[in-house]
Structure 1
Amino acid sequence: MKSAVLFPPLMTLKSGNFLDLYQAFPQVREKFKESSAILGYDLAERFFSEDIAVINQGDIARPSIVTISTALHDMLKETFGSPAYYVGPSLGQMTAIHCSGALSFEDTIRMVKGMCDLEEKDERNKGYGVFFFYNIDCSIMEKNMQIVRESGGYAEPCMYACSNQMIVNGDFDSLDKLAEMAMSQGGLGVTIPFGPPGHCSLLTDVQSKFAEQFMPTISPLRPEPPLISNVDGSAITDGDGVSDEIIGQYVVTVQWYEVLKSLKSKGVEKLFVLGPGQFISKSLQFTDIPFEVETLVTMEEIRGKFPHYVKGQV
């Protein structure tokens, strides 16, 4: 059966999230030590802080999610056999790039941190937020966004999750207006706390600086297995394609629904959902594309793959 491995995007975090994975698995703890050495600060200490503002800082949350996802991938890779493709929405694609062999772990962590630093310095994207809209057809949301823009507001899609789920960037007044419109149409819109704008024109300057300052420091290799592009759903089979994906998805809406359709068209029947958070697994419950899905997200699911090993190591 042809399969693909999916990695999680950035998510809103609470104190204690994924601490069970860190405490249970020495591989996760070792990977955090590796990340800390690359970053120059104790990532685990900050990520497992009680201060949710600290936990959700870009330079803490993003490297930590990549670190946990990578550790679990390395622990569980025998479970996947020989997947046909690797992919993940947004941040998940950075993890997929590393796990496919296209980029070293050190370069991946440096890349994620570099992205955070440039975004934090950029003033253009300040004062904007992100909402998640669901139970409303994306074509209706597109019309709603056009109405908001025509009235002087700003609204731009961040991700098409499936046919009736969309993540939207916007100024807060526009997002509130969109939420009111969606509710009147049978949908719901909820804010994503700590959610920075992503995959939109607000990041044009950041994209340019990242391409100039960071990309010359890395040399992506051929991904094995191939990746599926967040930008257009095509297969990425060489290092140049990886570079184009890293730069391109900065200002282009993540086409996650198109990614799923692309996987299906390429004969993929089973998806392994790997890493912390429930976004992908919950989103797949609402898609109209049939897949067999195996989630490796919770402690119980992960522990179940090697109970004897865990018992001896915890």
Structure 2
Amino acid sequence: MSKTAYVFPGQGAQFVGMGKELYSSHPVAKELFDKANEILGFRITDIMFDGTDEELKQTKVTQPAVFLHSVIRAVCLGEEFQPDMVAGHSLGEFSALVASGALSFEDGLRLVSKRALAMQAACEANPGTMAAVLGLPDEKVEEVVKSIEGAVVVAANFNCPGQLVISGSIEGVDKACELLKEAGAKRALRLNVGGAFHSPLMEPARVELEAAIESTEFHTPRCPIYQNVTAAPTTDIDTIRRNLIAQLTAPVRWTESAKAMVADGASRFIEVGPGAVLQGLVKKIAPEVETEGRQ
């Protein structure tokens, strides 16, 4: 029997105007957006609906904005939202947890806001960067980054076959890019990001978020969630917590997650939230499945 997987995007999917139509056409969306403004202590809706790209790029804005758009869109789906399984890419894992009932809307938003600020502080304390590597097998990229000594660089996002993002110190990432091009990468290019996400340089943020996650109430989700750290399904609250804490310094295993969902019966993937990045990645990982978006 075919199953439907709902997937939720991460940072980078944001755009000016996101959520505006939801706010004006769904009373429940308006209520949740207004509640978010109160919880965050600033009018994030003004920036999301009518701000500039620069304002939307601020870390304290970007992560809550993507989370809000995704979660509120899922709520507005009403009875249509019947997931057999869920997953989210990095930040999107928090959206998936709220949409599946593992976290309340309020607690999810508070954690995302805390995560954004903790990551920003870690970026300032330990400057770093990330780079996209195209056209090499994952194993080759991992082999190259492991060979680099004296600088931090790791495989951070396993997005789809032939597309991997590395993360670490500026020196480490630049050295890795050189070596990866020599090894045959079609492209190894620094990304315009604020820091070394999903690398050991995020350790201060992981410690800060751990305390917040440990003190937050979680519930058993309505369906399995395939978490970034393990790419395995779970509904166990302790496991969810542990994986969520590890996520900041561990790689996002998106290729494995999508493959695992397909192996467990998913033939339809619906991306909920801004953009269509995950639909594209899923199509490259499993060309045989159906993909749709709910923006």
TM-score normalized by structure 2?
0.88
Retained in 1: the 8 A contact 2:230–2:243?
no
Structure 1 residues 283 and 258: alpha-carbon distance in aligned structure 2, compared to 1, 3 A threshold: same
- Counterpart of 2:104 in structure 1 is 104
- 1-side partners of 2:181 and 2:202: how far apart? 29
8 Å contact kept, 2:98–2:105: yes
Comparing 17-26 with 29-38, greater Cα deviation is found at 17-26
2:223 — aligned with what?
225
Tell me by how many angstroms 1:186 deviates: 4.2
Tell me the distance in 2 between the aligned counterparts of 1:262 and 1:125: 36
Q: CA deviation at 1:62?
A: 0.7
1:137 and 1:17 map into 2 onto residues whose CA distance is 37
Q: SS at the partner of 1:269?
A: strand
- 1:208-243 CA-to-partner distances (Å, cap 9, x unmatched) read 23223x134311000001211211122221322221
Q: 1:273 aligns with which of 261, 271, 274?
A: 271
Deviation at 1:19, TM superposition (A): 6.1
| 1:239 match | 237
CA contact (8 A) 2:130 2:165 kept: yes
Unaligned runs of 5+ in 2: none
One-letter amino acid of the structure 1 residue matched with residue 58 of structure 2:
Q
Moved more, 221-230 or 5-14: 5-14
Question: Aligned letter for 1:262?
Answer: A
DSSP 3-state at the match of 1:86: strand
Q: Tell me if the contact between 2:127 and 2:195 (Cα under 8 Å) persists in the aligned partners.
A: no
Kindly indicate whether the alpha-carbon contact (under 8 Å) linking 2:159 and 2:281 is maintained by their aligned counterparts in 1.
Answer: yes
**Residue 132 of structure 1: aligned partner:** 132
CA contact (8 A) 1:48 1:55 kept: no
Contact preservation (8 Å) 2:258, 2:282: no
Evaluate the alpha carbon distance shift between residue 261 and residue 12 of structure 1 in structure 2; reply closer, same or farther with a 3 A threshold.
Answer: closer
Give SS of 2:12's match. coil
Are the aligned partners of 2:123 and 2:202 in contact in 1 as well (CA < 8 Å)?
no
Aligned residue type for 2:288: P
Residue 58 of structure 1 aligns to which amino acid in structure 2?
T
Specify the alignment match of 2:198 in structure 1: 199
Give 1:1-314 correspondences, 5 Å limit.
1-11=2-12, 13=14, 16-18=16-18, 21=21, 25-26=25-26, 27-48=28-49, 50-80=51-81, 82-122=82-122, 126-147=126-147, 149-150=148-149, 152-184=150-182, 185-212=184-211, 214-288=212-286, 290-297=288-295
CA contact under 8 A between 2:135 and 2:186: conserved in structure 1? Answer: yes
Alignment CA distance shift 1:35-1:50 (3 Å)? closer
**Matched AA of 1:253:** P
Aligned to 1:312: none
Offset of residue 183 of structure 1: 4.2
Q: Which residue type is aligned with residue 221 of structure 1?
A: H
Deviation at 1:286, TM superposition (A): 2.1
Matched to 1:57, the amino acid is: Q
CA distance in 2, matches of 1:12, 1:72: 14
CA change 1:195–1:133 in 2 (3 A) is farther
Separation in structure 2 between the aligned mates of residue 20 and residue 84 of structure 1, nearest angstrom: 29
**Using a 3 Å threshold, how does the CA distance of structure 1 residues 173 and 278 change in structure 2: closer, same or farther?**
farther
Once residues 60 and 49 of structure 2 are traced to their aligned partners in structure 1, the CA distance between those partners, rounded to angstroms, is 14
Q: Provide the rounded CA distance (Å) in 2 between the counterparts of 1:164 and 1:24.
A: 41
Which amino acid counterpart does residue 276 of structure 2 have in structure 1? Answer: Q
CA-atom RMSD, angstroms?
A: 2.4
